[in-house]
Chain A
């Protein structure tokens, strides 16, 4: 392949040039970089008047907590909310996208959105990406056909359940649900059980933590209880305060390294 004298701008579409290089690196034993997953505990349950969703509020980047109070319960429609676990970017993007599609659908049909509409839109999107969009969702809402609760997995499969948990803390939360859930819970009992399940995730799973968010959806009404419980208050605050004025830190030694600069002929920016 001769080197082109004139640089042609790349045509649209995916450029496969780097695939051979990646394969060669893999053969040499170089580990490919892994993407950040967010540990989470998200839950949902059906109670006598509708659906209650719950989530913790910790977002992690590997071993570090990057957001101590993030929102994992996403708005889909006035009567439908969705909790997201997995890669934060994926859950945000996919719920925002389907939320917009639902609004356009509401304008076109003139009716309130149904939960299975959101379900079908989400599952077809996730299936077409064959699991690479890493979003595990708990979708809940109340529409004309009644209260609904569904779980959606990254590969596009769905389950319809009376109570559900997802995320790294799902086992701890499911243990709470399996022992205490029953049909026909009242609003207060439901909120209490959801909080207990999320707290089980917060205290027993390293990927979940901070506060409990709850969302109660009933016919014609929804209540988003942001930070309904704060079981992890900051217990130690230094009495000296946290301002560090210049001059307070002792300088032990100083070393200056000069950068090597080269003079280059011609224009700095050649288009």
Chain B
């Protein structure tokens, strides 16, 4: 088993975007790996594009950071020129244009989610290759393979905000249990007409799934240093 520290930084990842009645909930794990080593166990894969539109990133860390930086810059200019907040459709289209036109060089799959006054909460999926697809819910990253069946069964139209967030946290934690490239904590972002709420769920608050064991002699039990507060 090679610990290739020179491998490009990639985010194995599980990313999810779900619409509910009134807005959207975005969720992601927090593991960034370099080969077999976890380079960052607490990364934030949900990045802000504008006040009302956020982006979930997966795949190559460098490529997705560069794309999100460019789109944030374009959207900022667009907002100034338009005189009002950018729509989610415009933001996801910009992501798609960069992804599609540079498809040979980029390796990143993204989910755009946000709320605007025209269409309400929307989720757009921009996978490898640069397709743009509006969906009521979207999943991405290596951990998403384990969630297709789960979402087919569990997703319902017209959920409330709390139901949607619980669903997202449950889904990410299921994926973390099965996918080696996903792990760490679960971060969620809820976007609706009232604004944006960021939440953080530490590993020990997540439920245990099949064959997962209770932590024994965990560092968190020891009387020593406080684990870090967010």
Contacts and interface: CB of A to CB of B under 8 A. Distances in A.
Interface of A: 37, 123-124, 127, 131, 134, 151, 153-159, 161-162, 168, 170-171, 179-183
Given A153-B34, A155-B8, A183-B229, A123 B65 contact: yes
B43 to A, nearest CB: 6
Interface string B54-77: 000000111001100000000000
Given A157-B62, A162-B228, A182-B225, A171 B8 contact: no
Contacts of A151: 39-40
Given A155-B62, A158-B65, 4 more contacts: A156-B65, A159-B43, A168-B5, A182-B225
B100 interface: no
A137 to B, nearest CB: 13
B211 interface: no
B12 to A, nearest CB: 14
A157 B228 contact: no
Chain B, interface size category, equals 20 to 34
Majority secondary structure of chain A interface residues (helix, strand, loop or mixed): loop
Contacts of A161: 40, 42
B32 interface: yes
14 contacts: A37-B6, A131-B62, A153-B62, A155-B62, A156-B62, A157-B8, A158-B65, A159-B32, A159-B43, A168-B5, A180-B225, A182-B225, A183-B228, A183-B229
B32 to A, nearest CB: 7
Contacts, number: 56
Contacts of B9: 153, 155, 157
A155 to B, nearest CB: 4
Given A153-B34, A179-B219, A183-B228, A170 B66 contact: no
A159 B40 contact: yes
Given A159-B43, A161-B42, A154 B60 contact: no
B3 A171 contact: yes
A37 B5 CA distance: 12
A77 B5 CA distance: 28
A153 B65 contact: no
Contact of B60 (A155, A168, A170, A182): A155
B2 interface: no
Given A157-B62, A159-B43, A131 B8 contact: yes
Contact of B66 (A127, A131, A154): A127
A14 B34 CA distance: 32
B228 A182 contact: yes
A123 B61 CA distance: 12
A159 B9 CA distance: 10
A180 B32 CA distance: 22
A102 B67 CA distance: 24
Shortest Cβ-Cβ A-B pairs, 8 listed: A157-B61, A182-B225, A157-B62, A156-B62, A155-B62, A157-B9, A155-B8, A159-B40
Nearest to A159: B40
Interface in B33-53: 34, 37, 39-40, 42-43
Contact of B61 (A124, A153, A183): A153
A157 B62 CA distance: 4
Contacts of B60: 155, 157
B117 to A, nearest CB: 32
Contacts of A127: 62, 66
Nearest to B42: A161
B214 interface: no
Contacts of B8: 131, 153-155, 157
Contact of A154 (B6, B37, B43, B225): B6
A159 B30 CA distance: 12
Interface string B189-230: 000000000000000000000000000000100000110110
A136 to B, nearest CB: 8
A62 B9 CA distance: 24
A161 B229 CA distance: 13
